[in-house]
Structure 1
């Protein structure tokens, strides 16, 4: 039976494909304050701005490709039972070939009802006023905004608890509850932390291997380490 590798990915892995995130620029996301485009309050204040913002993000997503880090994680399924838990809303992991991907913060290429959070549909183009669910309620981006619950959290915790190896790639470990997943790992399993500017992880009960590299370099290095441990 293959060992289970659970990987938590964040903005840093998508940034190398050309996707800009608010992580890079003091709370601005493509020139917008995140409070205006990534909160329920922003939606109620100016839904037209929010719809346009995510329409632009959807267009941008079609112009980028998975990078080497995404591709290597997909290739690792040949040797490991790999499960990706991502904070990213893009589909680059899926396009690279990863078969098990859980999106903690929603997905750009899906929309949902403003009144029924379980009404979720695939959506490739622009989302506009007048795009309605079956009960004639406006659709909104399927994004978990700041201040909203994270529906996939319980599933992410359960997956994390089963890990034989746990890797953190390209996330600042500042956004909760996602950052707290590391605390649900079995205490003795190896944890690998890939980030060019790693922070100190307090109270970690696991053996920690810090790899201070960008995602594309670090994931290639991680693959070597994992394969060597199998020998």
Structure 2
């Protein structure tokens, strides 16, 4: 039976790898590395660097593949994501089949953690035949962001909400919470909010050499983050960022 290990590798710093992750990489017969185009080539390069640093097994092969692109023009967001997941699953299956027979261990190095705002587990369950799925947890961008700012995420006895930029932009500030973590924000959804009374802790390229962080009252630092984010995106060709908003009563 095929075993698929989804291995959380943290947010860019190879030092964030756990011992369990290193063991799982070395136990694999095949490590898959996705390529996301030239603008995000450094994401694939980081995975190559991790393998070069920790892979000691001479029996482990590495296979790279081009990740299908989601149709951003699909009006039905859910359908667009669903079709994209089908395409990714088919690519995984083809890549695995071309390198392994019906048995073996396959590893995928997952940015952050496979359980939080990552679709690897959903895609893995679309494979045919369905492999045995194992998960090795990793450090999430939320943990890396809080660490970068030396920030406790929750206030004493208070909940927090993790959401997306799209949901924040469409629904506004969520009820019954004063702390919101925003991920997968293709823009700057915090601009859709009344900034008065809000404080932001923002970070991009967390854990990577080019890490950028900024914090302060949203009224003051919000415009600076917008400008800095645009500058960084133009320089790198891509950006991966997240932020925490807290509302003071």
- Report which of the two structures shows the higher radius of gyration computed on alpha carbons: 2
> Taking structure 2 as the reference length, what is the TM-score of the superposition?
0.28
> Taking structure 1 as the reference length, what is the TM-score of the superposition?
0.30
